[in-house]
Amino acid sequence: MDVIPFGTNDIDNILQAEPRRAEYLPFGAVMVDRTGKILKYNKAEGLIAGRDPSSVMGKNFFNDIAPCAKGKRFHSEFIKFAKTGQVNTLFDYQFAYKGANVKVRIHLKASNDGNCWIFVKRT
């Protein structure tokens, strides 16, 4: 199985064709619907955030799991997706997590099924 690099433009198509590959990504992968409800949360993101992936399913990413993601850039890009169903953007961000600022690179990518992938890589 080839490694899928972070920021790959067609990563949504790859994961749609082979959904189990999300579990083997070397970076965090969270799928949310247009309201921010978590539909998928891979093991790597669980390790990065110190959360059991099964415990976050169905919760709101922005309100319940990562309220620090409501920062201007991150949340405004998600709001654009929620309104249009379209997004494919990469940007740097800082999560205020457990008293520390964690620098990450975010890739928000709309999927063909109307949901949104949030890919997270520590920098």
Decide: helix, strand or coil at residue 79.
Answer: helix
* Cα–Cα distance, 18 to 24 (Å, whole number): 11
Domain range for 37 is: 11-122
Q: Kindly report the CATH number assigned to the domain that includes residue 49.
A: 3.30.450.20
pTM of the shown model? 0.92
Within a domain: residue 2?
A: no
Per-residue pLDDT in tens (0 to 9) along the chain, 123 residues = 578 889 888 898 889 888 889 999 999 999 999 999 999 999 999 988 889 999 999 999 999 999 989 878 999 999 999 999 999 999 999 887 666 788 899 999 999 899 999 999 988
Within a domain: residue 3?
A: no
